[in-house]
Structure 1
Amino acid sequence: MYTSQGKINRNTIVEQYYPMVRRQALALQVRLPAGVDTDDLIQAGLEGLLNCVDRFDPEAGVAFSTFAHQRVRGAMIDELRSRDWIPRSVRRSGRELEQAMRRLEQRLGRSPEEREIAAELEMSIEDYHQLLQDTNSGLVLSYDEVVLEAPGGETTTEEGVDTPAEQVTEAQLKQLLINAIETLPEREQLVITLYYQEELNLKEIGAVLDVTESRVSQLHSQAIKRIQSRVRNL
């Protein structure tokens, strides 16, 4: 991994970590519209990886693999954000959906059911399901934005070391997310766990739940909107 001069060998790093970059690109791609090219995500990830080589400090006490994993994913997310491919109308609909959920939770003292959310939005359950489908394409970014753009969410310094204050903020943010996920209905909790922790795709989750891929997409979208409405309201 290092040259005879004690520097990180960039070619060796690319060869060693390319499979990791490709895995992350594929994991993101299956959650995005068909127009997003996996090769573009891989290229962004490789650029993030090489940026790690320039910024990594072996004396900082952070493993290069950990540092690289975070930077590669961040580079891919930045690439997607730079395209701004989520229509404004979809963003607006997503915000309105979050607000409706928040109002209902405050009024009912619990997570609202689908029919209650649809009624709050003054639409049929069919139109509500279509709204979930329409907003789902941007949710991989929205989920990451909860972590990456919330106050204190960006915790890595230029040297790759978290300050004590930043570490506390990150821990608090993670706890907020955990608490929000724990309030989800059981089936939506399972979807989030299988999707983000077990890294199953929608089709695989559908097989586990014995529902269609489209239904999993709706449940995923609804779960993320519930999480956002809670975390962003704290």
Structure 2
Amino acid sequence: MGDDLAYLEPGAAYGEDYGASAAAPLLSPAQEQRHLLAYAPLVKRIVRQLNSQVSGAIDRDDMEQIGLMGLLEALRRYGEPDAAFGSYAGLRVRGAILDELRRQDWRPRAVRQESHKLRDGVRALTRKLGREPAEQDIIAGLGITAEAYRDYQMAQNAESIGSFDEVLQETVGQGESAPSPEDQLMVRRSLEQALRGLDEREQRVVQMYYEFELSYKEIAAVLDLTDARVCQLNKGALGKMKAVLQSA
């Protein structure tokens, strides 16, 4: 990660993709470099999470570089980090990486078509059973392998995370400066309200994924579930939270 930081040239202008602020930077180049080093582990954790869901669509080193650019943008908008900066920076880092994934259209067309086919099959099975089908119901009912179902869940969940993060970005605001303390309080209250609408297991999944930054495999081990089931729970939880945030 140390070599990656050298590419960022703290104090230099951004490329167009990252939308540099026209205002003078609030931090000196030396301060930017120091904070980039301090928050580099945050970038690594987020990359580790997202990398497990996109099947190597972007090289991990490239994802870290993109994440570091997102971190640098966050520093320039926020100024001197305080206790609330980590959450703000995490959102910006994730947003930068997800934006690049969307720009590169990371899922081949054939993969997207197969995913849509499986999604339609799951919906039809749900109507047939009159309930949410379990993992084994889907595997047996659609005649697919457990691995194929896991890949489908990962793809669906990656889309859900991207969609949820877009709503968070809109809630936090896209201005050139960091959100005010009043805005941050509003966002926190909205998130707390959204979390209260989840059942206990959904809350634990969201907390472990977003707060403790565990991978799906690690969450599955803690909760004694399959990776696919964790994906399913996270996808459902993010859908509920997205609806609350949009209404707020």
Q: State the AA in 2 paired with 1:204.
A: E
Within 5 Å, give how 1:1-12 maps onto structure 2: 7-9=27-29, 10-12=32-34
Question: Is the CA contact (8 Å cut-off) linking 1:44 and 1:75 kept in structure 2?
Answer: yes
Question: Is the CA contact (8 Å cut-off) linking 1:93 and 1:135 kept in structure 2?
Answer: no
Structure 2 gaps of 5+ residues are 1-10, 12-24
* Residue aligning to 1:51: 73
Q: State the AA in 1 paired with 2:193.
A: Q
Q: CA deviation at 1:71?
A: 1.6
Q: State the AA in 2 paired with 1:175.
A: Q
Question: Is the CA contact (8 Å cut-off) linking 1:29 and 1:38 kept in structure 2?
Answer: yes
Match of 1:78 among 99, 103, 108: 99
* Residue aligning to 1:88: 112
Q: Secondary structure at the match of 1:15?
A: helix
Once residues 132 and 231 of structure 1 are traced to their aligned partners in structure 2, the CA distance between those partners, rounded to angstroms, is: 24
- 1:20 equivalent to 2:42? Answer yes
- 1:132 equivalent to 2:132? Answer no
Match of 2:215 among 201, 221, 230: 201
Q: CA deviation at 1:84?
A: 1.6
Structure 1 gaps of 5+ residues are none
* Residue aligning to 2:179: 161
Give the number of equivalent residue pairs. Answer: 215
Once residues 74 and 20 of structure 1 are traced to their aligned partners in structure 2, the CA distance between those partners, rounded to angstroms, is: 14
Once residues 82 and 53 of structure 2 are traced to their aligned partners in structure 1, the CA distance between those partners, rounded to angstroms, is: 34
Q: Secondary structure at the match of 2:161?
A: helix
Q: CA deviation at 1:47?
A: 1.0
Q: CA deviation at 1:115?
A: 7.5
- 1:220 equivalent to 2:230? Answer yes
- 1:143 equivalent to 2:160? Answer yes
Once residues 80 and 178 of structure 1 are traced to their aligned partners in structure 2, the CA distance between those partners, rounded to angstroms, is: 31
Per-residue displacement from partner, 1:91-123 (whole Å, max 9, x unpaired)?
Answer: 52475368558868xx96xx624289749xxx7
Q: CA deviation at 1:75?
A: 1.2
Q: State the AA in 2 paired with 1:8.
A: S
What is the root-mean-square deviation in Å for CA atoms of aligned residues?
A: 4.4
Q: TM-score, normalised by structure 2?
A: 0.62
Q: State the AA in 2 paired with 1:80.
A: L
- 1:67 equivalent to 2:81? Answer no
Question: Is the CA contact (8 Å cut-off) linking 1:33 and 1:137 kept in structure 2?
Answer: no
Q: State the AA in 2 paired with 1:39.
A: D
